[in-house]
Amino acid sequence: MAVSPDGLIDIVYLRQAVDHVLKYSLPPQDYQPETERYIIREVVLNVLAASVLPRLTQPWFIHKIILDLLGPEIPVDAAEVSVRILFYLTSRGMAGQDVPVACRLCVHLHPPHV
């Protein structure tokens, strides 16, 4: 069985998976010798099993990857955003009736500089 009931991945399954990846990614002359294939498989497997896979399953690591992909935080002025929302709604003839209470409150606290 590939995964045990307690969530651990069987090392034999990983060896077979890496062996199949090597079969399709290596040229036939490099895949043919067993010794060379075993050395490459064990190096790849030990690097993945020892350092990469345990980190990938940690929530903090996934969170860090997502934050890195999103990029740095851009500061936003709440008053400017609420004024832009109000301007958009006013230009569509929707001001006053469909404006959310929070937006109207922000505009009253920070009136637009128009």
Tell me: do 51 and 93 sit in the same domain. Answer: no
Q: Single out the residue of 77, 105, 104, 80 nearest to residue 90, CA to CA.
A: 104
55 lies in the same domain as 16:
yes
Judge contact between 23 and 36, C-beta under 8 A: no
Element (H, E) at 104: helix 101-109
Based on the domain organization, do 25 and 61 belong to the same domain? Answer: yes
Q: Give the residue from 48, 57, 50 showing the smallest Cα distance to 21.
A: 48
Share of residues in the chain with pLDDT > 90 (%): 4
pLDDT bucket at 24, cuts 50 / 70 / 90: very high
Range of the domain at 58: 11-70
Cα 13 to Cα 19: distance, rounded to the nearest angstrom: 10
Backbone phi, then psi, for 12, in 5-degree steps?
-65, -40
Q: Tens digit of pLDDT for each residue in 57-88?
A: 788 888 888 888 888 777 777 777 777 777 77
